[in-house]
Structure formats: C-alpha cells, structure tokens
Amino acid sequence: MRIGELSRLTGASVRSLRYYEEQGLLRPLRRPSGYREYRQQDAATVRGIRLMLAAGLNTATISELLPCMTDDGQALAPSCAGMLPDLHRERDRLSNAAADLLAARDRLDLLIQTTSQLDPADPSECEAVTAPR
C-alpha cells in the first residue's frame, strides 16, 4: 500500500510516517519509481509506535523495543520479558518528570494563593516591578 493509504488506515499523518522511517522505525519497500510500498504488517507497527509514543517513550527507546514486539493481529504486543528493564527505566523517568511538574504546580499554587490575598493592585504599582531602572 502507498503512504496515504497507511496514513488513513492508522490515523498517523504522512509526515509522521516519513519521520518514523527517518528514525528507522519503519522500513517500507521502495518501488523503482521511488514510491514507498508498505505492507499490511506496517500498519500494526505504526499502531505500536503510536502506542509507545503516547506512553511517553522516545523514538530511540522505541527503536530498541520494536524487535521485542510481535503482531497479535490488531497491534504490536510485547513478546519477551527482556524489555522489562527498559520499560521500568522509562516509567521511572516519567514518574520523575511528573513529580517535577507537580512540584512546579504546587509552587505556582502558592504564588496564586499569596497574590490573591493582596488588595486589588494599582496597575501603576505592577509596572514599577517590571520597569527598567
């Protein structure tokens, strides 16, 4: 199938499909005309790539994990426990990033709370804070 058909079938944009190929995640056949020719199994691969991207994995990690995935008829599914250390590492990375975001939100909430307790500000007072000296 051509790239447009794969795009319609998977919901991935043509641009994304080209990016996946550039990253080595997809390897379509090339016709003599230069057109990409995708196989039916590439649709499952794209769905697996999109699932892993949505789980917060980057394309380098996905590239490492794809060989441990098999097509279950609907999408790619893990086929070996050897990928568990990578998955745990990525989960830890995401947990740390989430904790950092929650801490930043808490600091922002504190600023909001403190600011909302102030009397309505005179706009000229606020300008004094940002005016060059």
pLDDT at 49: 93
Place of tokens 């790539």: 49
pLDDT at 117: 78
pLDDT at 103: 97
pLDDT at 94: 92
Correct CATH for 1-79 of 1.10.10.10, 1.10.1660.10, 2.60.40.10, 3.40.50.300: 1.10.1660.10
Global pTM?
Answer: 0.70
3-state secondary structure of 132: coil
Question: CATH 1.10.1660.10 spans which residues of the chain?
Answer: 1-79
pLDDT at 74: 67
pLDDT at 68: 85
pLDDT at 95: 95
pLDDT at 133: 56
pLDDT at 126: 66
Contact assessment for residue 26 and residue 45, using Cβ atoms and an 8 Å cutoff: yes
DSSP element (H, E) containing 123? helix 123-130
pLDDT at 125: 64
pLDDT at 118: 75
Task: Compute mean pLDDT per 10 residues along the chain, 133 residues long, and list them.
Answer: 95 96 94 91 91 91 88 75 88 95 96 82 60 56
pLDDT at 131: 53
**86-94: long-range pairs with CB below 8 Å, 24+:** 86/61, 90/55, 90/56, 90/57, 90/61, 93/56, 94/56
Cβ neighbours for 21, distance < 8 A, ≥ 6 positions apart: 27, 28, 36
Distance CA 10, CA 80 (A): 25
pLDDT at 83: 85
pLDDT at 53: 94
